[in-house]
Chain A
Amino acid sequence: MISGVLIIFFVLAALAVLGAVSLILQSHPIHSALSLILVMVSLAGLYLLMGAEFIAAVQIIVYGGAVMVLFIFVIMLLNAGVEERTNFSKLAAFGGVPLALALGCIIAAAIARSSGHLAPPAVNGAMSSTRELSMLLFSEFVYPFELTSFLILVAILGAIVLAQREN
């Protein structure tokens, strides 16, 4: 008997994987960007499924909204066309593919081994209220939080300095 939550999970997971595969297969950058938006929206659905409502909202607003609009804006600004195919180097074919497969095997083995250590989730949705998250963010993690504001400031300055037209 498969519960409804599991069905929703599999639908969202399939959408996310489909979007990621489509990102690789599309040759036009704007199609890749739209595929990435599909991945991000389905990940937001998965966060909702896990009871992390605030993360889901931030995922849609910041990632699906701000960051992807920035990407699409740059694609249109640079008038990016279909990418040209180039032949791969021998090093990539004979060294890269086995290494990528080994990475996948190591991750899969680690997950398979860890299955006994992870207890099943206690209560669905009860642990991660936005109130608890904000209490943690502004008490225990307040210094990292302040540091991120400096990071944003430096990033704004860097973007302005980089993108300005030199005279």
Chain B
Amino acid sequence: MVPTNYYLILSAILFGLGVLAFVFKRNIITIFMAIELMLNAVNLAFVAFSQALGKSDGEVFVLFVIVVAAAEAAVGLGIIILTARNRRSLNVENVDLLKL
């Protein structure tokens, strides 16, 4: 039986790596992937708490997080396609103004 703390520590490590990727990457698609990584880390913590408390509520929240992440990916990638079409670049340093 794996202690709940191990899962929480792994979740914190993955979240930290997601923050690191979010800050250090320059490609807009990779930054978006870092957000997905952070959502996954939070999901792991939800399932670990759900198992520790013996209730399924946490797993329901995980389902909602997955739905929101899928919706976010659809809209976000639409925005990325639009940005790449207008700026001709995927580097976030070229995307520092809301208007062209």
Contacts and interface: CB of A to CB of B under 8 A. Distances in A.
Interface of A: 3, 5-6, 9, 13, 16-17, 20-21, 23-24, 29, 32-33, 36, 39-40, 43, 46-47, 49-52, 54-55, 58-59, 62-63, 66-67, 70-71, 74-75, 77-78, 80, 83-86, 92, 96, 100, 103-104, 107-108, 111, 114-115, 118-124, 127-128, 132-133, 136-137, 141, 144, 148, 151-152, 154-156, 158-163
B1 A100 contact: no
Contact of A83 (B73, B79, B81, B90): B90
B21 A5 contact: no
Contacts, number: 217
A93 to B, nearest CB: 11
Contact of B7 (A46, A71, A119): A46
Interface residues of B, number: 69
Most B Cβ at <10 Å: residue of A6, A49, A162: A162
Contacts of B44: 43, 46-47
Given A86-B26, A162-B75, A6 B18 contact: no
A3 B1 contact: yes
Contacts of A86: 26, 91, 93
Contacts of B64: 141, 144, 148
Contacts of B91: 83-84, 86
Interface SS of B by simple majority: helix
Nearest to A54: B59
Most B Cβ at <10 Å: residue of A17, A51, A119, A163: A163
Interface string B35-47: 0110010011001
21 contacts: A20-B21, A23-B37, A29-B33, A32-B33, A39-B40, A50-B51, A52-B62, A55-B43, A55-B59, A59-B66, A71-B29, A78-B84, A118-B4, A127-B55, A128-B51, A128-B59, A136-B57, A152-B70, A161-B78, A162-B79, A163-B78
Contact of B60 (A23, A47, A141, A161): A141
Contacts of B37: 20, 23, 36, 39
Given A83-B30, A155-B71, A163 B56 contact: no
Contacts of A29: 27, 29-30, 33, 90
A118 B8 CA distance: 11
B5 A66 contact: no
Contacts of B69: 63, 67
